[in-house]
Amino acid sequence: MSGITCLLELYDCPPDILDNRELIEKALRNAVDSAQATLLEQVSKQFTPQGVTALGILAESHISIHTWPEHGYAAIDIFTCGNKAMPERACEYLIEAMNAGHHTIKRVKRGTELDPASVRTALSPDRVQYHVLHV
């Protein structure tokens, strides 16, 4: 098992995009296609007075989109396992599709203790630790 979670923050997005459930659902599907991943199931929710959540089960793990139109902000996670899917491509697609003014991406490797070759610092449960993230 090798897995990556991309944590994507989109800022300065148009509120009318962020509050459009149909558009967010479509963006999720297109993002999955961009990543060359496989969408197995999708659920979404329109919040009141505003905001949308959309989740997708992937053959490779999951994708989530949460929007806060009042802040022009969306938080997106794409977790893929295996070597075939390209979650960064999904991020690139979503930055464009949601017309973000700026963004940040954090990549977090999952299941690192399953992979002895992974470079990681020995863990101590009560210490703050530094992990290398590719932004």
Concatenating the DSSP letter of every residue in 30-79 gives HHHHHTT--EEEEEEEE-SSS-EEEEEEETTEEEEEEEEGGGTEEEEEEE
**CA 90, 46, 57 angle in degrees (round to 5)?**
40
Residue with Cβ nearer a second copy (3 or 87): 3
Residue 31 beta carbon to a second copy: minimum distance, rounded to whole angstroms: 16
Helix (H), strand (E) at residue 108: strand 102-110
- Active-site annotation holds for 6: no
User: Which residue out of 81, 91, 118, 134 is catalytically annotated?
Assistant: 81
Does 57 sit near a second copy (CB under 8 A)? yes
Does 133 sit near a second copy (CB under 8 A)? yes
- Active-site annotation holds for 61: yes
Q: Which residue, chain included where needed, has tokens 């999951």?
A: 62
Q: Site for a second copy (CB under 8 A): which residue of 35, 77, 85, 95?
A: 77
Residue 94: CB atoms within 10 Å: 25
Q: Does the N-terminal peptide bond of residue 87 adopt cis geometry, omega within 30 degrees of 0?
A: no
Residues 20-49 that bind a second copy (CB under 8 A): 40-41, 43-45
Name the residues that contact a second copy, by CB under 8 A.
1, 3, 5, 7, 9, 11, 40-41, 43-45, 53, 55, 57, 61-62, 64, 66, 68, 71, 73, 75, 77, 79, 81, 102, 104, 106, 108, 110-114, 123-125, 127-135
